Amino acid sequence: MTPADIQALGKVAVLMGGTSAERDISLLSGGGVLQALRSQGVDAQAFDPAERNLAELKAEGFARCFIALHGRHGEDGTVQGALELMGIPYTGSGVMASAIAMDKVMTKRVWLAEGLPTPRWVRLGVDEQQRERVRTVPDELGLPLIVKPPREGSSIGVTKVHGYSDMQDAVQLAARYDPDVLCEEFIGGEEVTCPVLGEGGDARALPVVRIQPPEAGYDYQNKYFTDEVRYLCPSGLPEAEEREIQRIVVAAYRALGCRGWGRADLMVRASDRKPFLLEMNTSPGMTGHSLVPMSARAAGISYEALCLHLLAQARLDDARPAVAPGVGTQGHLG
């Protein structure tokens, strides 16, 4: 992008922080994005919706927003809806795709309707969390199994349950973060993740990242604050296996109506190497430990170039990308 193209992007708000359980990670992501955009000459400013009214975005003349919020009131369609009403283009998926992808149960329903593989599950509503009902879940899904809040991320409130006696505590933990609780079949194998850039027929997968966690598991602490987890990119998977993961991820992304960017998390079952979709992140992390920048680097895209590209694709639900003059829909990555 030329200096004129960058200037044409206008005044940019990097939305970070927010009120979700992932606030601290969002501040790290937003700080990285802010620094990257400023290093490229973008007039970018930090904006924390937990501390300022969103209406100030319009009043202060922001031309577009880079959404670096994670979790509720940032990744779930609510902020996207507010920006739609104000007419301020933003990065990432629109209102509907953001709302669906934030809810893992709704996401699974869409994927199953499209014939895409996802682990079996049981949803426990507020009125289904009595001990008698909870104890029957392992009979349906087997053991071990995973219990998690369906509308949180970053492994918050997640428990791997090994026995019937652990179920009630796991459900109570998940219910601290979400009224509903998602119980999911455990897929034994390798965890992988795969980012996607673009929209519709132009959406394309970036290289797969293979995750090798320590014995303690791939939890919140290990995801963001230690160097105990090994990330392999290139993944080292057989080429055909990587291509199949990428195919499934792009299909999952399109099925939800995502745009801009996203990152799908999957398990590859050890017994038959079949991939299973776990979730789609529509506002992925951009911290020093984050996986989209790692995958992008393997594809020859720097962190700064990735941030600029995503910003150039900012748009509203009812409009084509609000690209700066001289920048095509593929941005400078085209």
Q: Single out the catalytic residue among 90, 224, 253, 303.
A: 224
Task: Give yes or no: 199 in active site.
Answer: no
Task: Give yes or no: 154 in active site.
Answer: yes
Q: Single out the catalytic residue among 178, 279, 295, 331.
A: 279
How high is the pLDDT of residue 331?
A: 45
For residue 328, pLDDT beyond 50: no
Task: Give yes or no: 279 in active site.
Answer: yes
Least confident of 13-22, 75-84, 207-216, 236-245: 207-216
CATH superfamily of 121-185: ATP-grasp fold, A domain (3.30.1490.20)
Query: CATH for 3-92+314-333?
Result: 3.40.50.20
Predicted TM-score (pTM) of the model is 0.91
Task: Give yes or no: 210 in active site.
Answer: no
Task: Give yes or no: 185 in active site.
Answer: no
For residue 280, pLDDT beyond 60: yes
Distance in angstroms (rounded) separating the CA atoms of residues 334 and 329: 8
Tallying the residues shown for the chain, one arrives at: 334
Exposed e or buried b for every residue in 47-73, given b needs 16+ CB within 10 A?
bbbeeeebeebeeeebbbbbbbbbbbe
* Cα dihedral across residues 321, 13, 292, 103: positive or negative: negative
| Whole-number CA gyration radius for the chain | 20
How high is the pLDDT of residue 216?
A: 55
CA of 210: how far to CAs of 196, 231, 242, in Å? 15, 6, 10
Q: Single out the catalytic residue among 285, 290, 303, 331.
A: 285
Q: Single out the catalytic residue among 17, 18, 22, 290.
A: 22
Q: Single out the catalytic residue among 154, 222, 235, 283.
A: 154
318 band by pLDDT with thresholds 50, 70 and 90:
confident
HEC assignment per residue over 139-203: HHHCCCEEEECCCCCCCCCCEEECCHHHHHHHHHHHHCCCCCEEEEECCCEEEEEEEEEEEHHHC
Distance in angstroms (rounded) separating the CA atoms of residues 185 and 216: 20
Q: What ranges do the domains of the chain cover?
A: 3-92+314-333, 100-117+188-298, 121-185
Task: Give yes or no: 56 in active site.
Answer: no
Q: Single out the catalytic residue among 98, 281, 283, 290.
A: 281
How high is the pLDDT of residue 21?
A: 85
Task: Give yes or no: 22 in active site.
Answer: yes
Distance in angstroms (rounded) separating the CA atoms of residues 158 and 181: 10
Q: Single out the catalytic residue among 5, 48, 242, 265.
A: 265
Query: CATH for 100-117+188-298?
Result: 3.30.470.20
Q: Which two tokens stand for residue 5?
A: 């193209």
Q: Single out the catalytic residue among 64, 210, 263, 315.
A: 263
Q: What is the pLDDT of residues 85-117, one digit of tens each?
A: 999 999 999 999 999 999 999 999 999 999 999
Task: Give yes or no: 285 in active site.
Answer: yes
